[in-house]
């Protein structure tokens, strides 16, 4: 068997989080949504139905601090989350178990747009409340970087508005963590199938 055939598949999970501030610790992750986007093996990428395997939790805040503008983005009510939100340790243990279940036989990779903000909260919460990450310490793929590389653009020149329309999901970006995780899973599948821009192409 060739080395190419021995490559362990990657199971890509689109993750979106909503938070009430810029960094975890002083501020809280208040919701978490995830959707299986597809699997990649030595033969290529196979997209999944992003609505088929999903995860969603709303979490109890971990501090009294919050940035009103950040909280307003999600539309979630902190008062309700204090009484009805899942205890973070329980929610993160449930999420880890779900990731391990859906990625059985493959290596789980978190993907996000952009991944940096969501990964910062996700990884911090996983280590803080469960002591481990089902993605390891580096199983993270940034869709913005993926697009910039294929489009041959500087990263800071990239926004969804600059992308070819056929790459974008037809779903609305609602700032509900599960809605957005599903939307971004479709974007990811489209990006994986897209051959990219050629050097000879013009805008």
Residues 129-168 pLDDT 10s: 999 999 999 999 999 999 999 999 999 999 998 899 999 9
pLDDT score of 43 more than 50: yes
pLDDT band at residue 1, thresholds of 50, 70 and 90?
very low
Give the other-Cβ count within 10 Å of 41's Cβ: 15
pLDDT score of 179 more than 50: yes
For range 64-70, the mean pLDDT: 96
Which residues touch 133 (CB under 8 Å, ≥6 apart)?
A: 96, 123, 126, 127, 139
The dihedrals phi and psi of 182, each to the nearest 5 degrees, come to -65, -45
Phi-psi map region of 27: left, alpha, beta (phi>0 left; psi -120 to 50 alpha): beta
The reported pTM is 0.93
User: Annotated catalytic, 175?
Assistant: yes
Pick the catalytic residue: 137, 173, 175, 176?
175
Residue 39 to residue 169: CA distance in whole angstroms: 19
pLDDT score of 110 more than 90: yes
pLDDT band at residue 198, thresholds of 50, 70 and 90?
low
For residue 59, give Cα distances in angstroms to 33, 55, 79, 136, 169: 11, 13, 12, 22, 27
DSSP E strand stretches across the chain? 10-19, 29-41, 44-47, 54-58, 107-112, 140-142
DSSP 8-state symbol, 153: -
């Amino acid at each position: 068997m060739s080395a190419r055939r021995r490559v362990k598949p990657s199971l890509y999970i689109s993750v979106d989080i909503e938070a009430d501030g810029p960094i975890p610790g002083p501020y809280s992750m208040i919701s978490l949504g995830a959707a299986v986007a597809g699997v990649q093996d030595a033969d290529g990428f196979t997209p999944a139905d992003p609505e088929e395997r999903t995860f969603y939790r709303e979490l109890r805040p971990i501090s009294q601090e919050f940035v009103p503008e950040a909280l307003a983005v999600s539309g979630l009510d902190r008062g309700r989350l204090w009484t009805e939100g899942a205890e973070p340790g329980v929610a993160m243990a449930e999420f880890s178990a779900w990731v391990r279940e859906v990625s059985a036989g493959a290596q789980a990779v978190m993907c996000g747009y952009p991944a940096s903000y969501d990964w910062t909260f996700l990884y911090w919460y996983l280590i803080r409340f469960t002591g481990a990450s089902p993605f390891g310490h580096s199983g993270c793929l940034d869709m913005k970087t993926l697009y910039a590389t294929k489009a041959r653009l500087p990263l800071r020149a990239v926004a969804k508005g600059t992308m070819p329309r056929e790459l974008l999901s037809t779903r609305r970006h609602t700032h509900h963590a599960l809605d957005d995780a599903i939307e971004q899973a479709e974007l990811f599948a489209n990006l994986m199938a897209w051959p990219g821009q050629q050097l000879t192409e013009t805008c």
